Amino acid sequence: MPRKIDRTARVRELIAGFPRYLAAYGKTPAFTRAGQLEFHVETIRLRRELGSATAAVRDDRFLHSLYQTLNAWGIGRRASRLLPETEFAAAVRARETAIAELENTSIEDLSLDTEAVCQRVWKLVDQFGIIQNDTRIVPGTKTLHHILPDLVAPMDRGYTQKFFQWHNPQFQYDQARKFRVIFLAFVDVARAVRPSQFVTGGWNSSLTKVIDNAVVGFVTLEQTGGS
């Protein structure tokens, strides 16, 4: 009989040791390829400078920087292909109205209607169509993270999937339900630890990136037996 995985307990453990896991990431960042940090920081800087998600998706500089970031972060590698930049920009701009409806929404907001917001974010993730295959969670959340950095954390196979202890087929073919589990868990984390207090620049560029960094730190320590 398969061992039952208590994901709620893992989320509680992440919350309880949050500063430690975040520090573990800071000590040994997982993403060190050329441009991964630099493009990300510049994209977030432009997003803050532009002042709104609507202004960002209308801005050529922002979308170019976002496209560079996604390439640096590995979107479009392996079996998938990121759309050409002009088509990518058009795909993002086609969702401007839905993106604008989530403007000023924060995962840290105690009054957040989590189920309703989760559904709206998933709809965007599912319909972006920026990758020419059926993958949704990874490219969609990494794109939205830079447009709505206070709401959507970037998600990936290497760390997010491992934190929640899903096998590849589970993560690949049940994406809507997996996204919901992740999003609601991250809301719980945000409400418990107030990650905005850890936003200091660099990789700790936004409250959702802070959560992602702590998840990476958690998985890294788990894999290395660190303390």
Residue 1 lies in a domain: no
Instruction: Identify the domain containing residue 100 by its residue range.
Output: 7-224
In 99-168, DSSP assigns E strands to none
For residue range 13-43, what is the model confidence (pLDDT) as tens digits?
999 999 999 999 999 888 888 889 999 999 9
CB burial of 18-41 (b: ≥16 within 10 Å; e: otherwise) equals beebbebbeeeeebeeeebbebbb
Residue 182 lies in a domain: yes
How many domains, the chain? 1
pLDDT number for residue 43: 99
Residue 172 lies in a domain: yes
Strand partners, 82: 131
For residue range 76-115, what is the model confidence (pLDDT) as tens digits?
776 668 999 999 999 999 999 999 999 999 999 999 999 9
- pTM for the complete prediction? 0.94
